[in-house]
A and B are shown apart, each in its own frame.
Chain A
Amino acid sequence: MAYEMYQEQILDHYKHPRNRGEMPDADLQARDYNPLCGDDLTIYLKTDEKGTITDVRFTGQGCAISQSSASMLTMMLKGKNISEAKGIDPDRIVKMLGIPLSAVRLKCALLSLQVLKKALFSKELSQAEAMKE
């Protein structure tokens, strides 16, 4: 299974990640961590007034699956509306990667989506926190 996992596309995104780097003026951002592998990921989003994602960046470190998944996901996001992005489900990520994944490695693969969702909902989450106080 391992060799099927490390297909050219995965290795290409791992070695040459797209949209990698910080975004100091991001409108939305979130970070999460996979304690199992030590995969660490932050996603930054820039949006316009219509809620369209105009720019995406990510930083972090981790295994080939988590990092290539993040790189591929950022490519998918540019030009999408926030509500559209909120609708991306795990199946979509698995299809995007197109490789066999064990239960353990699925966590690596889905870290990018988890962080994206956290970023997309970060405004609502912080508002909810503020209301609690």
Chain B
Amino acid sequence: MERTKPSLDVAKIKKDFPIMERKIHGKPLCYLDSAATSQKPRQVIDAVSEFYSNYNANVHRAIYELGEDATRGYEGAREKIAHFINARSSSEIVFTRGTTESINIVAYGWGMKGKLGKGDEIVSTVMEHHSNHIPWFFVQDYKGVKLSWIDIDDEGYLKMEDLDRLVTERTKMVAVTQCSNVLGTINPIKDIAKKAHEVNALCLVDAAQSVPHFPVDMQNLDCDLLAFSGHKMLGPTGIGVLYGKEKVLEEMEPMLGGGEMIREVHLGRATWNDVPWKFEGGTPDPAGAVGLGAAIDYLSSLGMQNVRQHEIELNAYGLEMLGKIKGIRILGPMDPKKRGGLIAFTIPEAHPHDIAAILDAEGIAIRSGHNCAQPLMERCGIPATARASFYVYNSPEDIDRLVKGLKKVQEVFA
């Protein structure tokens, strides 16, 4: 591979992440599990700490300076997110606990409380994370709608002929991931949303593995709803986003009833607040939102194109080096440009849990198991995989350590 100037200065970036100083079993941490959750830079940790130290108050209703500061922080973060994904306005940004909650809000407010009935259909894919399967199972069981799933080909790409076959006049929703957390496959969301719109269906996108890793532009993709998590993009846990076109959000019923989400309440009846606050019943997580805002500032300062380019470089090196391991099976597209920054694999000698346990002894953290994608595991005919995933603080040296660790695994289980 031609060596050009690296897209990111990883050595410099690593210094921003206090956890990178930790030793694991006496060895420097080699963190390859960012698809599960990312580590946090000092800038994010400081922003959260600063919120609690300097302007903690409940948002929206307080008539005092602290409360106004807190509200400004919270709503300011919403603006940052809207700008980051090029939404039309910040009223399209609903704060949630994360991707799972975001999709459940749609399944409830659009699905279970909506106009759906027998004869209606929801189309999804076999490569979804459980969080984009189970909420639709709820709708199926509650409303009697029919679910169908777009299959994958041998390389791990969606079979687009299935999309054409399954999306019909009966289809009301196409719910699909932008980037598979196992195969890494990046799906053509713009085409899928267009297809959904041809039959007046909505398109919901699970962006848990995409928004943290490459530029995502809502006005270009034109999907109707999109969900992602703060903790996978350098932000705190417990904060996430549901993006929705204003008209779509307006037509949805709220899932959480309580404070903030109301306009007027009388005994036995109430009207709802405007979007997005209609969906934010109860005291929200302003510290989390401020932390996510700081994460977005951090990512923006690196440049999302550079983040993407960096992960393509790691993909290319990872696919090449892992590909040399005897008997290894790598899942998903072999083109580094066609996948997100993660590589799931199996080796014949050892179960993924045993691989992960040996790698842990070497200070290397990877994921092992069914990756919350059991239907996909079934489709691929494997019970579990090992998965290494990359982010801004990873370098080719991490991949070298992984490969060396895997050789140890093969020695132990030879």
Contact = CB atoms under 8 A, between A and B. Distances in A.
Interface of A: 1-3, 5-6, 11, 14-15, 35-38, 40, 61-65, 105, 108
B357 A2 contact: yes
Given A2-B357, A62-B353, 11 more contacts: A3-B358, A5-B357, A14-B413, A15-B413, A35-B370, A63-B353, A64-B351, A65-B353, A105-B353, A105-B357, A108-B353
Contacts of A38: 369-370, 377, 383-384
A1 B363 CA distance: 12
Contacts, number: 50
Contacts of A65: 353-354
Contact of B351 (A1, A11, A15, A37): A37
A40 B351 CA distance: 12
23 contacts: A2-B357, A2-B360, A2-B361, A3-B358, A3-B361, A6-B357, A6-B358, A6-B412, A15-B413, A37-B352, A37-B369, A37-B384, A38-B369, A62-B351, A62-B353, A63-B351, A64-B350, A64-B351, A64-B354, A64-B413, A65-B353, A65-B354, A105-B353
A2 B413 CA distance: 13
A11 B383 contact: no
A11 B412 contact: yes
A71 B361 CA distance: 26
A126 to B, nearest CB: 28
A2 B25 CA distance: 10
B406 to A, nearest CB: 13
Contacts of A62: 351, 353, 383
- Among B351, B352, B360, B384, chain A packs the most CB atoms within 10 A around the CB of B351
Interface in B364-390: 368-370, 377, 383-384
Interface of B: 25, 350-354, 357-358, 360-361, 368-370, 377, 383-384, 412-413
A15 B354 CA distance: 13
Contacts of A2: 357-358, 360-361
Contacts of A36: 369
B27 to A, nearest CB: 12
A62 B358 CA distance: 16
Nearest to A40: B383
Contacts of B384: 37-38
A63 B377 contact: no
A61 B384 CA distance: 11
B9 to A, nearest CB: 33
A108 B354 CA distance: 11
A14 B414 CA distance: 11
10 A-B pairs with least C-beta separation: A2-B361, A38-B383, A63-B351, A63-B353, A38-B384, A2-B357, A64-B354, A37-B353, A2-B358, A63-B354
A61 B357 CA distance: 17
B383 A61 contact: yes
Contacts of A14: 413
B369 A6 contact: no
Contacts of B358: 2-3, 6
B414 to A, nearest CB: 9
A79 to B, nearest CB: 31
Nearest to B350: A64
Contacts of B383: 38, 40, 61-62
A65 B370 CA distance: 17
Nearest to B355: A63
A1 B354 CA distance: 12
- Among B350, B352, B357, chain A packs the most CB atoms within 10 A around the CB of B357
Contacts of B368: 37
Contacts of A40: 383
A34 B377 CA distance: 15
Contacts of A11: 412-413
A120 B274 CA distance: 59
Nearest to B358: A2
A46 to B, nearest CB: 28
Contacts of A63: 351-354
A6 B369 CA distance: 19
Contacts of A61: 383
Contacts of B350: 64
A1 B361 contact: yes
A101 to B, nearest CB: 11
A84 B170 CA distance: 60
Contacts of A105: 353, 357
A65 B413 CA distance: 13
Nearest to A3: B361
B245 to A, nearest CB: 36
Contacts of B369: 36-38
A17 to B, nearest CB: 13
